Structure 1
């Protein structure tokens, strides 16, 4: 374990921003704090960096306590690198000088060797004499990462680093940065509200809401076995169906029966989080839904369907259906959506 964050509490103006917040990070892992704007994820990152001071709790990095009670190590002594949303490159310095900024006290030959190594690592070996304004946004963000990596910190923190980039570049760059961090064997924490970035980069994802960490898990588990309704609602696309549990562990809904991940001591009416991949058209079934909306996407058609009981579902399919047309739906044979108490 390289990072141990335990029971951080922090309030601003009487509003609780972090509530018993904590997790552990293993060496070499890339983690992501994921959630809506205002959920506390950036505040948590700033506490780890030392830019904010929690009211209580503890932070330890590589076995060294950074914060606990009266002890609060200043940011520049924490051996933590930071990559910001706006890159924060020095416009009057060329790219090589920007990368070398944090290792200025090293011997010149060693410093040049490290800069050349990092420029090659980020795919910009011939850009050392360029200036930031001569680079694209994606190139500048890679330079910002190289600058953070130069002193070989114990941990890298990335605060919404791709939010100013277009969607395609954001996805590609998040994958590239994930690979770079693995090559450098550097542990990292990313903050984002974009689940595509999180799933592209992270070994572990911490889903936050209202200052509370609802789940800390690998991406597949977070998606397939959400621990709370807040996690289920945020991750992936889906809708809620009313369900009742049967003795065999399945649930009954308006479109039929399916296996489900049931909460402990389940009883009465449940809420079932149904995602598009849980649904299939049933050519032999009884029509039970109306096409309310249809939008073409590159992979097919995205539908909003209204069931006969008034509930709404989202569905993806390759066939085109016009609005107000009727369809018979059933659960996919492999469906196993998560259910929660009302």
Structure 2
């Protein structure tokens, strides 16, 4: 909330400083790191966002969202270009250094009797040292009116993102069944972009490659495990698409209901009817044993998705109580 206050007043550097405090709470907490990584991506600090999503993937490789989140931010970084600003990563470096010192000091005489704890801490210290080395060389990608394109970086980001998304598509995720179909749409959009910059030998079964463009696509994700958030879209006709009414007369479709955390939930419409589309999110409930406070939502709204004139808007919201329904926004065609 504090960061949003300063963002609204165009003080993004101060907002970044506040957001980085999230990670300082616990660098091993994937849920906290997800909040920070998504907000950094919204602020277009994409190199830092990539760094954190890589860490989340290391911590939670068994969750398809870890692969998907990293892939999508790599695509955004490649799309924006590579104008660099060296000192924008000082706060994140400071965050890593602070955690490094905390862990090193933790190797006290009191803990030395616990060999397993020492091994875990030493492994974490080595990992942090590697991250500090890599971030020293890293630049921050920012949005500018005249982005400087670096084809080799764009090529590498697209290539890595394809591998990550294809991994999600081709594997089975019991807790998150059908995330494969949502990711397949994103993979096909990416393949089209990658081919335009010369990426060849794309390791994807050609039977899965097809143009999957739509007039309207809305994606809802959230940061808390074992939590059920529902996406509701009310169409101009008054018909509402949601988990128990997933298909509408005009062709709108809501994806499978994810009841155990993170999402994504998706609404797609191939040919939009003229009028106003109302977007809401409903906090149905949580079975999480851990209390993280308010649940943070990320809503991405795309118009003309997968086409040259595609437009995107990202919204972050917080839900504080079960059974709460929040208005996200409207989109008019």
Q: What TM-score do the two structures reach when normalised by structure 1?
A: 0.22
Question: TM-score normalized by structure 2?
Answer: 0.22
Higher strand share: 1
Higher relative contact order (CA 8 A, sep 6+): 1
Higher helix share: 2
